[in-house]
């Protein structure tokens, strides 16, 4: 089977497993796991932030990052198909007590004119107040679309003028970095808080990080423990992340090339494929998914009509070519 359902299906390579087995560990709740600390320091440094916190999942990293800048009863604005709005099962409301309003863009982009219509300044004890603007880069449900740095910088300037925060869901920021050549520090500079994942394109079995100021991350550490996600000898997982940073970032360009090849085979526009995700609509989506499975290719539907293909570390050039043939024949 060639599995194109998600870039989260990868299995650790032998070299990654060796790095995990050799990891020096300690009790991270006591702050004594040297491998976790090394990972946190390295990732904070890459994005030019003061501090970082390791979390088991990207969803938790987003919950902690947003809660660092939005208090209960305040709101965050984001795009309508953002992961924080659609796929974290209401955690930001249920756990952090905040509300959300959304703007829509077919490619998950920032539309400052619409953001401005939504934006709610502090009008006293009558209205919910906007405390943060959130953006996802790359945007998962918008087909792995990159949000251009210039647009992020404009959002940053807009937020600064209104003294509100910017949250960046950078689960796949590595893909945006490789696709555009934008330095990670430039992405770090546009956001007060970020969530980044090691378990998507980078191929680690688990692990994400929250980035922000030393104070924000210290508070996120308290909240992480409160939610039961303080982990002990978790350097074993952090070692997988460090290995991924050393070996799996630049190769994301291969995933992007494979995605364009698959798009072409499916009649989608390869020029619209920014990174490792291809989405296209078919009225017979469930049947198409079932027939692909029978032919040895696992793909997913992310809506009644929308098909999604995702390339990753465990899809070789040969796999991509074989899958392209199967999908073209269907």
Judged by CB under 6 A, the chain residues 63 through 92 that form the site for ligand PLP are 83
Q: Does 137 bind ligand PLP (CB under 6 A)?
A: no
Residue 274 burial by Cβ neighbours in a 10 Å radius (0-12, 13-18, 19+): buried
Query: What is the distance between the alpha carbons of residues 277 and 7, in angstroms, rounded to a whole number?
Result: 9
**Which of 28, 40, 79, 169 is close enough to bind ligand PLP by CB under 6 A?**
169
Residue 178 burial by Cβ neighbours in a 10 Å radius (0-12, 13-18, 19+): buried
Q: How many CA atoms lie within 13 A of 112 on its CB side?
A: 11
Q: Does 59 bind ligand PLP (CB under 6 A)?
A: yes
- Minimal distance, residue 81 CB to ligand PLP, in Å: 10
Name the residue with the smallest CB distance to ligand PLP: 58
Token couple for 54: 């390791």
Cα–Cα nearest to 1, from 76, 221, 9, 36? 9
Only one of the segments 41-49, 51-59, 63-71, 227-235 lies at the binding site for ligand PLP (rule: CB under 6 A); that segment is 51-59
Decide whether 3 or 136 has the Cβ nearer to ligand PLP: 136
**Which of 79, 136, 192, 274 is close enough to bind ligand PLP by CB under 6 A?**
136
For the CA atoms of 83, 85, 91, 94, the dihedral, rounded to the nearest 10 degrees, stands at 180
DSSP state of 249: S
Q: Does 134 bind ligand PLP (CB under 6 A)?
A: no
- In the stretch 240-279, what mask flags binding to ligand PLP with x, by CB under 6 A? ----------------------------------------
For residue 27, how far is the Cα from the chain centroid? Answer: 27
Size of the site for ligand PLP (CB under 6 A): 12
**Which of 10, 35, 140, 216 is close enough to bind ligand PLP by CB under 6 A?**
140
**Which of 28, 36, 58, 205 is close enough to bind ligand PLP by CB under 6 A?**
58
**Which of 10, 35, 62, 74 is close enough to bind ligand PLP by CB under 6 A?**
62
Decide whether 34 or 230 has the Cβ nearer to ligand PLP: 230
Name the phi and psi angles at 96, rounded to 5. Answer: -100, -10
For residue 72, how far is the Cα from the chain centroid? Answer: 24
**Which of 13, 57, 99, 182 is close enough to bind ligand PLP by CB under 6 A?**
57
| 306-310 and 300-301 beta bridge pairing | antiparallel
- Minimal distance, residue 234 CB to ligand PLP, in Å: 15
Decide: 77 and 103 in contact? Cβ < 8 Å. Answer: yes
Q: Which residues pair with 201 in a beta bridge?
A: none
**Which of 171, 210, 240, 323 is close enough to bind ligand PLP by CB under 6 A?**
171
Only one of the segments 53-61, 69-77, 157-165, 236-244 lies at the binding site for ligand PLP (rule: CB under 6 A); that segment is 53-61
Rounded to the nearest 5 degrees, what angle is found at the Cα of 195, between the Cα atoms of 72 and 309? 120
Decide whether 197 or 211 has the Cβ nearer to ligand PLP: 197
Q: State the residues that interact with ligand PLP by CB under 6 A.
A: 57-59, 62, 83, 136, 140, 169, 171, 197, 199, 208
């Amino acid at each position: 089977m060639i599995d194109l359902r998600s870039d989260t299906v990868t299995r650790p390579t032998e070299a990654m497993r060796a790095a995990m087995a050799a990891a020096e560990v300690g009790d991270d709740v006591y702050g004594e796991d040297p491998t976790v600390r090394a990972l946190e320091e390295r990732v904070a440094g890459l994005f030019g932030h003061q501090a970082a916190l390791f979390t088991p999942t990207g969803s938790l990293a987003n919950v902690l990052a947003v809660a660092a800048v939005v208090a209960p009863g305040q709101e965050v604005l984001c795009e309508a198909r953002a992961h924080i709005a659609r796929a974290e099962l209401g955690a930001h409301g249920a756990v952090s007590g905040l509300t959300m309003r959304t703007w829509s863009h077919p490619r998950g982009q920032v539309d400052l004119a619409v953001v401005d219509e939504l934006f709610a300044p502090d009008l006293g004890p009558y209205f919910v107040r906007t405390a943060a603007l959130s953006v996802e880069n790359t945007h998962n449900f918008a087909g792995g679309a990159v949000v251009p740095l210039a647009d992020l910088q404009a959002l940053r300037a807009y937020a600064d003028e209104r003294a509100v925060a910017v949250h960046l869901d950078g689960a796949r920021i590595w893909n945006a970095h490789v696709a555009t050549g934008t330095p990670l520090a430039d992405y770090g500079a546009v956001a007060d808080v970020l969530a980044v994942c090691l378990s998507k394109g980078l191929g680690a079995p688990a692990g994400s990080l929250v980035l922000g100021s030393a104070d924000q991350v210290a508070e996120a550490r308290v909240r992480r423990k409160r939610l039961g996600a303080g982990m002990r000898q978790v350097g074993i997982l952090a070692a997988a992340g460090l290995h991924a940073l050393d070996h799996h970032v630049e190769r994301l360009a291969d995933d992007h090339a494979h995605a364009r090849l698959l798009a072409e085979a499916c009649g989608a526009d390869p020029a619209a494929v920014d990174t490792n995700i291809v989405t296209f609509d078919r009225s017979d989506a469930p049947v198409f998914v079932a027939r692909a499975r029978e032919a040895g290719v696992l793909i997913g539907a992310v809506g009644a009509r929308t098909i999604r293909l995702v390339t990753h570390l465990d899809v070789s050039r040969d796999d991509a070519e074989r899958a392209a043939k199967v999908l073209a024949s269907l």
